[in-house]
Structure 1
Amino acid sequence: MKRKRTLFLILGAILFVVSFSAFASYQKRKNGPVFLDNHVFQRYQEKWGLWVDFRTEKKSLEAKVQEFGADFQEVVELNSITEKEKKKVSRPIFIPYSKEYSQSLQEAGSFREAIDSQIDQFIWPVLPNNRTRISSRIGRRWNTLHTGVDIAIPKESIVLAAADGVVEVAGRSGDYGLAVKLYHTDLNHFHTVYGHNNLLLVKPGDVVKKGQIIALSGNTGKSTGPHVHFEVRYHNVYLNPENFLTPFEEGVATSMVSFAN
């Protein structure tokens, strides 16, 4: 009897230690900083670097890869670059930074941006600045239901993932124009939608992190001006995004974070 009791005590102690460690790990992840991609530090497939648009970039792919200190073959595989494209690329390509190049950027005064956000909360899909405003809210508009929030923002502005998720849709989608739809398994299976973009930087199946750049804003589809149309859905029911976010008018306080943190 004593032996069984001792065994149960040992098993109980092991379960307690494992549970406490898991909880501590969760809390650490929960309370850690959420990075917001900016115009210098961006992410794709868990790597830090920069999206380079070779439709306008004057340098060659090889030259740009060398500038960032990246591995050429890694860039080819990461972006599924064809043999023909190696000679002349005409689309955005993600190029990871080497540690040395990241360090040089930080020494020049460029850092990652971070905010405080619980892992079970959404963030606004735009970088906080004084050039953005809510131009239309969810509700009846022009005798139809406006299904999300419109955020007026200059064309080619960064569009961020509101939470961790998987890309379900990335392409042209009727009145939404160039749109991205994310599925958030860790957030009660919600979906978020980002419409009217000018350029998409993710593809279906990509796993994205909260605050990661997924597109550049635009005016595609049925739109009267450059903005991001942002929706939150639950089983195809349109919910008010503002119920899940801090008031837009308050803005978001960001802090600069180096790779040493």
Structure 2
Amino acid sequence: MKRNRSYYIILVLILFVVTYSAFAAYQKQKNGPVFLDNHVFQRYNEQWGLWVDLNAEKKSLLEKASEFGILAQEVMEINQLKESDLGRLKRSIFFPYSAEYMRGLQEKELFRETVESPIDQFIWPVLPNHKSRISSRIGRRWNTWHTGLDIAIPKNSIVLAAADGVVEEAGRGGDYGLAVKIYHHDMNHFHTVYGHNQELLVKPGDVVRKGQIIAFSGNTGKSTGPHVHFEVRFHNVYLNPENFLTPYEEGVATSIVGFAD
């Protein structure tokens, strides 16, 4: 009888050690550095590259692909484009980098940025810079209830996913203009909303990672100037986004890291 009890105690201890180790490994992974898409390195379909507006650059797809050291066909495939689409492109398309091109960027000391972020905390949906500021907070405004946080930022600035999730909506949304709504299953089933964008880079059903570029900011919808309208919702109840973020006035401390995954 005593021998059986000893076996049970040993078994429970082993299970506890294994469970704790797995949980600790999970926490370490989830609390590790978050890679931010920036103006040099952006992520799409598991590849690193850059979103490019060919009309703005006045270049052909073939010219830009050659610049990044890749084949035009690779660009067509990752963007799900057909030959007939090329003559009427009105959106940015993603160009993956070749290994040689990435090495060249590193030699120029251009790298990714990271930020430390716990699993239960969102990150700011804009890149840290001196040109952005909070222009309006959640609460009563002009005899109505302002449902989120407005971050004034230049048009066509990068908009980032505040946490891992799945895109539920992406398109025109009334006063929100071009907006993205993301469902965060692993974060208490919260939703985040990003409004007034100039261009959207995701579609419903896309799985996005924290820090991934999802749009370029703008002034669409009911808006008095370029900004990102950012909301945090729980069962369609509007929460104060600042309760889930580091203080904006402190800025966001990022680190420069190498390119190797």
Same fold (TM over 0.5): yes
1:236-247 to structure 2, matched below 5 A, reads 236-247=236-247
Percent identity for Structure 1 against Structure 2: 74
> Structure 2 unaligned runs (5+)?
none
Equivalent residue letter for 1:148: G
CA contact (8 A) 1:61 1:89 kept: no
How far apart, in 2, do the equivalents of 1:208 and 1:214 lie? Answer: 8
Distance 1:18 1:143, change over 3 A: same
1:71-220 to structure 2, matched below 5 A, reads 71-86=71-86, 89-220=89-220
Structure 1 runs, 4 residues or longer, greater than 4 Å off: 1-14
Distance 1:242 1:98, change over 3 A: same
After TM superposition, give the deviation of residue 67 of structure 1 in Å: 2.4
Q: Which moved more, 1:30-39 or 1:58-67?
A: 58-67
Distance 1:7 1:63, change over 3 A: farther
Q: Which secondary structure does the structure 1 equivalent of 2:119 belong to? A: coil
CA contact (8 A) 2:166 2:208 kept: yes
Q: Which moved more, 1:229-238 or 1:101-110?
A: 101-110
Q: Deviations over 1:160-189 (max 9, x none)?
A: 111111111111100000000000001000
Q: Which moved more, 1:1-10 or 1:135-144?
A: 1-10
CA RMSD after TM alignment: 2.1
Distance 1:106 1:237, change over 3 A: same
Task: Give the total of aligned pairs.
Answer: 261
CA contact (8 A) 1:45 1:207 kept: no
> Structure 1 unaligned runs (5+)?
none
What residue in structure 2 maps to residue 33 of structure 1? Answer: 33
1:3-22 to structure 2, matched below 5 A, reads 8=8, 12=12, 15-16=15-16, 18-22=18-22
What residue in structure 1 maps to residue 221 of structure 2? Answer: 221
Q: Which moved more, 1:75-84 or 1:210-219?
A: 75-84
Distance 1:17 1:68, change over 3 A: farther
How far apart, in 2, do the equivalents of 1:23 and 1:167 lie? Answer: 28
Q: Taking structure 2 as the reference length, what is the TM-score of the superposition? A: 0.92
How far apart, in 1, do the equivalents of 2:4 and 2:173 lie? Answer: 63
Equivalent residue letter for 2:192: T
Q: Which secondary structure does the structure 1 equivalent of 2:121 belong to? A: coil
How far apart, in 2, do the equivalents of 1:78 and 1:4 lie? Answer: 60
